[in-house]
Each structure stands twice: as C-alpha cells, then as structure tokens.
Amino acid sequence: MKSIQSALISVFNKKGLEPIVKFLYKEGVKIYSTGGTQSFIEKLDIPVTPVESLTQYPSIFGGRVKTLHPVIFGGILYRRDNNSDLSEAQEYKIPAIDLIIVDLYPFEETVASGKSEEDIIEKIDIGGVSLIRAAAKNFKDTLIVSNRNQYADVLEVLQKNGCASDLNIRKQYAAEAFEVTRHYDTAIHHWFLDEKDSDFKNFEVLPKKELRYGENPHQKATFYGDFDAMFEQLHGKQISYNNLVDIDACVNLIDEFDKKQATYAIIKHTNACGLATGENAKEAYLRALAGDPVSAFGGVIITNSNVDLAVAEELNKLFMEILIAPSYDINALELLSSKKNRILLVRKETRQPKETFKTILNGVLMQDKDLSIESKANMKSVTKRVPNVEEYVALEFALKVCKHTKSNTIVLAKGNQLIASGVGQTSRVDALRQAIEKAKNFGFDLKGAVMASDAFFPFPDCVEISHQEGIDTVVQPGGSIKDQLSIDYCDANNMSMVFTGVRHFLH
C-alpha cells in the first residue's frame, strides 16, 4: 500500500472533480495545480500550491509550457526504493508527487466541431500526456488518474483504503493511462494524415462497451463504437450483439431509398423479409409486412419516415425486437412503449464508414464498402423486348434489396414491394425456387413481377423457371460465358433482361 501525501491536479474538464478534491484536502494531502484547475480549487476554499512555486517558472508561451520541468517530472518519476534516486531528490529539492489527476485537452471534440487548424493544434495536449506517461511508468510509487471517467472510481478506492492505493490498483490505472494516450495520439496522427475514416481502421480507439454475450450465450463480446452518437434509445432492454448486427443491416438497406417516400424494411438475421414503399407510413409498413408476415415475428424494423399513431397501431400488433425511426409522435411513442422490452430507437445523422472488416484465418480482411447501386441509366438492355417505365422502377427496387441479401440470392419484386427472396442458397436455382414458393405461400400473383440476381446466370435455367411462373423481366450483372443462352431464351419467350455489369455478392 502507498499512502497519498501529495497530488498534482491538472484537468480540462472539472465536472465531477470537486468531491475528490475535498476528500484529498480532508485527508491532509498537499495539492499542486495549474491555471484553470488551480482557480477551480481555490474557489472551493481549499489550499492549493501553484506549480510555478515548485518550478520557479511562470506558465509561458500562452500556456503551452506549465508542468514540463525536472522538478515536476522528477517528483513523479523518482523511485522511492532506490537510494540513488532518493539522494538526488534530496539534493535538488524535488518533492514526491504520489497522485496525478489529468484530463486531456479535447482534441477529437475540437476536430469534430469544425474549428480552425490553429484551434485544433492548440488542443494537442503535451504536458498532460507527458504527466500521464510519467506517472504510469512509475506505477510502483504513483497513482495516475488519466481521464474524468475515473474520478468517481478513484474516490471510492481512496475512501476504502484510507487515502492509499495498492500495487494492483496502480498497475490497473497505469494500463488504462497508456490506453488513453494511445487513443489520443492515434487520433492526432490520423488528423495530420487527413484520414477522415481512420477511426474505423483502428477500432480500438473507439469507445468500448461490453455486451451481455456474443452471437450465442457462451461467447463473450465487445462493441467498439459510439452507439449513442448514432441512436437515441427511447425505450426497451439492453441492446445485444445480434441486435447490433441486425441494426447495421437495417441502416445499410434503408439508406438506399429516397427519404421523400415512406419506406419500411423488416429484417431477420440481416436479410430483408419485408420491404416496401407507400403513399404514407401505414401503407408502406403494411405492404412490407405482407411480404413475409411469418418471418417478421421477432424482427427488426426500420423506417425513413416519422412514426405516427396510425402506423404505430399496426406496428403494435406485431412482436418485434426493435423499431428504428427518425422521429415518433408522442402518442405513437406512448403506445409502442407499452411492451416493456421493445427497443425503440431514434436514428441520428452520422457519418458511416466506407470500409468493411472481417477477421479471417490469422489476419483481417478490409475492403471498400459496396456503395454501388445501379439505376436505369446503368442498365443495358440485352433483349429484343425492353422493360417499360414501371418495370424499370421495379428492377431498381429489387436490385437494392438484392444487394443487401446474403448470396446466392434471387429477389422478386412488384410495384416497389418485396414479394419474396431466396436467401443464402448454394445454388441460384434453389434461391429462385425458394423465392417462388414463399411468394405463392403468401398469396402473391407472380405475373408481372420482376426478378433480380446478385450474380450472373451460368445457365438459362433461372430465366426458364421464372418465365414459367409469369416473371418476364430480369436484371442481373451478366458476364457468364453462356450469357447468350439466357438472352436467346428471353428473346424466344418475349422476356426482357438487362445487364448491370456489377456483381453484388454478400457473404
């Protein structure tokens, strides 16, 4: 155990600091401080010794140099069990400093606020980082509090131990201190390189949240990211690993659709089991639900429109895990909150990463996110019959769903409504048969529907099967050495088919 007899406090954010300062004063701890922190302590009528009285130097260069001095760093770093260090400390009149409390300049917040380069540079903390590293290095003798989130915790530790700390606690705080400086320096490094998406490449610099468990209860899991920056949770239970995965799929899918037209998507295990647009929110939801009302049970729902009471009354009839929307009317929110565990989220406008990552073998795969989506302008008609205006609209819709569905996939759509999809099949023919069967089970007439495929048809079997079911309009990437066989069949049967030249595998 090491008792604390002196402390150096230099923090940017003073929130939560008062209780620990009062405790240290009550325990007779000598407090050193600087600038704004010194003023804060003095206003509490607590004696504080300015750092300048130790260094015999004022704060200089506009506050850039305050604590960077051998007396300060000597008091932190000298080893209390080393005779040579003890002798030098006595010779140079260097007092021991047992506790360091630091909260760094808000560099990342300053960058995010859009401030000027000059303002950002001035928020690169030098002295604070140096104090943190010095105290963490000498954890055998000093206790380092490296950010404001530790104030309450360290106060509890000191109260429990009579203003003292044990070696294990000091080592734990030292480890956290080096994590703080690593995160801080990484953020600065990426700003200098102008890497706007760098935080996603270095996920450990992101906020960390332990989850109840992973994909299954026997697996541990952690989320790295600022969920609260992207969503406000209005109601419901703690969000799980699988919830996060489905929420991600929801966001990626709904962002393909124009916010001017009400759209609802129902997701189950990251795949859309229902999706539609409508003249209003209620119509969009009911059309989406009709796509697969069985799979919708226990699903995650997202919309790009406000949730009013009319649609809330319909939504409330379904058992769903999560509802995500940009806003809710008060009466709609009251109704939907009647289910204790139902998670209700408001989505905020935030930047999304432009890369995806996956751990594989003994490494990590990184790729550009699939941000390509093909409209009529990108579709090349390869058959004698060309799709009409309504068919092109349906093809664009189906392709958006197809892009966000596990491969191999076939998507069937009609009038901006998903009527069925074949998901994650080892054969494209199986995916088509699965989609056809589901559409029929839920009472859809396939005549006039369109078909989208995430990859090319190696044989004409898929266009043959679709034609037999009344589906005569098709979109696919093309690129098979046997494309002509599918084209010939379409021409012989008055079908229209367009190629996009872009594959959308999703594994």
Q: What is the 3-state secondary structure (H, E, C) of 255-316?
A: CCCCCCCEEEEEEECCEEEEEEEECCHHHHHHHHHHCCCCCCCCEEEEECCCECHHHHHHHC
Residue 459 CB partners (closer than 8 Å, separation 6+): 482, 485, 486
Please name which of 126, 143, 139, 227 lies closest in space to residue 184, comparing C-alpha atoms: 126
Q: What number of other Cβ atoms are within 10 A of residue 397's Cβ?
A: 25
pLDDT of residue 201: 58
Phi, psi of 498 (to 5 degrees): -120, 150
List residues bridging with 359 in a β-sheet.
364
Please name which of 328, 319, 260, 255 lies closest in space to residue 293, comparing C-alpha atoms: 319
Phi, psi of 365 (to 5 degrees): -95, 135
For residues 326 and 307, is the Cβ–Cβ distance under 8 A? no
Q: How far are the Cα atoms of 1, 10, 145, 146 from residue 100, in angstroms, in the given order?
A: 17, 8, 6, 8
pLDDT of residue 200: 55
Q: Which residues of the chain have pLDDT under 70?
A: 195-205
List residues bridging with 164 in a β-sheet.
3
User: Is the link from the previous residue into 242 a cis peptide, with omega within 30 of 0?
Assistant: no
Please give the positions annotated as active site.
Answer: 137, 269
pLDDT of residue 204: 61
pLDDT of residue 102: 95
Buried residues in 310-322 as b, exposed as e (16+ CB within 10 A): ebbeebbebebbb
pLDDT of residue 354: 86
CA atoms within 13 A on the CB side of 91: 7
Instruction: Read off the pLDDT of residues 417-459 as tens digits, 9 standing for 90 and up.
Output: 999 999 999 999 999 999 999 999 999 999 999 999 999 999 9
List strand residue ranges (DSSP E) for 89-177, in order: 99-103, 143-145, 164-165
DSSP structure class, residue 60 = B
For residues 141 and 171, is the Cβ–Cβ distance under 8 A? no
Kindly write down the DSSP assignment for every residue of 153-200, as one continuous string.
Answer: HHHHHHHHTTSEE-HHHHHHHHHHHHHHHHHHHHHHHHHHTT-TTHHH
Residue 364 CB partners (closer than 8 Å, separation 6+): 357, 358
pLDDT of residue 205: 62
Instruction: Estimate the crossing angle of helix 151-160 against helix 18-26, to 10 degrees.
Output: 20
DSSP structure class, residue 212 = S
Q: Do β-strands 343-347 and 320-325 pair in parallel, antiparallel, or remain unpaired?
A: parallel
CA-CA distance, 41 to 297, in Å (whole number)?
57
Give the CA radius of gyration of the chain. Answer: 31
pLDDT of residue 353: 83
CA-CA distance, 13 to 364, in Å (whole number)?
37
For residues 373 and 256, is the Cβ–Cβ distance under 8 A? yes
For residues 213 and 219, is the Cβ–Cβ distance under 8 A? yes
Phi, psi of 114 (to 5 degrees): 80, 20
pLDDT of residue 344: 98
CA-CA distance, 249 to 242, in Å (whole number)?
11
Q: What is the pTM of this model?
A: 0.71
Residue with tokens 């069990």: 81
CA-CA distance, 475 to 380, in Å (whole number)?
9
User: Token digits for 42?
Assistant: 């003095």
CA-CA distance, 339 to 320, in Å (whole number)?
10
Please name which of 236, 181, 251, 243 lies closest in space to residue 209, comparing C-alpha atoms: 243
SS3 116: coil
CA-CA distance, 276 to 199, in Å (whole number)?
34
